[in-house]
Amino acid sequence: MPTPHNSAVKGDFAKTVLMPGDPLRAKFIAETFLENPRLVNNVRGVQGYTGSYRGAPVSVMASGMGMPSIGIYSYELFTQYDVDNIIRVGSAGEIQKELTLGDVVAGMGACTNSNYAAQYGLGGTFAPIADFALLSAAVQSAKELGVNMPVGNLYSSDTFYDASASSLKWAEMGVLAIEMEAAALYCNAAYTKKRGLSICSISDNIVTGEELSPEQRQTSFTAMMKIALETAVKMAAL
């Protein structure tokens, strides 16, 4: 049944959902890559579409920005709409010098400054990680597409403007890039016994300040999108 944030009904979403942050990017993916896309949600302008890609049912829906937002939408998709796989497709800021603008990275794990996992009362520190089957399918898809996709840790930050400038210290621990959603997605996937993965395109360099334009962020991340779509096809075949 519909939720306060989603007007779709059960069956409107495919088993695999691609989840960009930006509603306009969700619209772009649906109209560019999906066959016969139909709008299944537009509550608060958070657009969700379902169609097919190379014969496999696929949905795409925006998450909004930050862990509280993706926490709501991914939890509802997992628990109310029988979604099994959510692949976040978004932007990230590089903190490793070997990465360049437009590169695609996959988050095997997600470090964070968030207390999102405190809700579980674990009495320790939970390590949010991607689902291995999704990650393996994405790595295989990237190879087939000829895309070099580094795999490693992301850093999910609750703060876009960081007063302490501490984010760069995560580079010393080998973290690839900074984003704002993966840790919450991985927590929700673990808690609901579902699958989550974050694939990100590098949109800016945290060290130098170099960045893509908003228009480029919205429409130019085609390699990331194709990897996610091919991953969805592989998951549908399982």
Q: Do strands 177-179 and 151-156 pair parallel, antiparallel, or not at all (unpaired)?
A: parallel
Q: Are 128 and 71 in contact (CB under 8 A)?
A: no
CA 221 from centre of chain: 13
Question: Among the residues of 34-181, which ranges form H helices?
Answer: 67-80, 132-145
User: Are residues 202 and 152 in contact, defined by beta-carbon separation less than 8 angstroms?
Assistant: no
In 95-235, beta strands by DSSP E: 104-112, 151-156, 177-179, 195-205
Q: How far apart are CA 238 and CA 224, in angstroms?
A: 22
Residue 119 contacts residue 190 (beta carbons within 8 Å)? no
User: Residue 204 catalytic?
Assistant: yes
CB 226 within 8 A of CB 103: no
Kindly state the helix (H) or strand (E) to which residue 39 belongs, with its residue range. Answer: strand 35-41
Two tokens at 23?
């509603």
Q: Which two tokens stand for residue 110?
A: 């997600």
Q: Catalytic residue positions?
A: 204
